[in-house]
Amino acid sequence: MHELGDDTLKKIAHELVEKLRKSTTVDWKVRDSVRARIRNIVRILLRRYKYPPDKTDEAVEWVLKQVEVLSEAWAS
């Protein structure tokens, strides 16, 4: 996302990690309500930073995949 700039992307990443660490639970992968809440957190944050709306769905799915990997490390 070249149009957002590196500083903005760093802010988004930092806020995402902070918010998602608080939202993930041990069983979040199987609980639809938690997955929906995580999707909403990501969408709201991307909207706040004026992330291109046409690329939001792709970004949300990418973030969920990353959270699946990172949440194992966060839990330990």
pLDDT value at residue 75: 60
In whole angstroms, how far apart are CA 39 and each of 6, 7, 8, 35, 54?
Answer: 23, 23, 20, 6, 16
pLDDT value at residue 69: 81
pLDDT value at residue 50: 92
pLDDT value at residue 13: 87
What is the Cα–Cα distance from 8 to 2, expressed in whole angstroms? 10
Q: In sequence order, which ranges of 25-55 are alpha helices (DSSP H)?
A: 32-48
**Segment 22-74, tens digit of pLDDT:** 777 666 666 788 888 889 999 999 999 999 999 999 999 998 888 888 777 76
Smallest CA-to-CA distance from 12 within 36, 46, 38, 53 is with 46
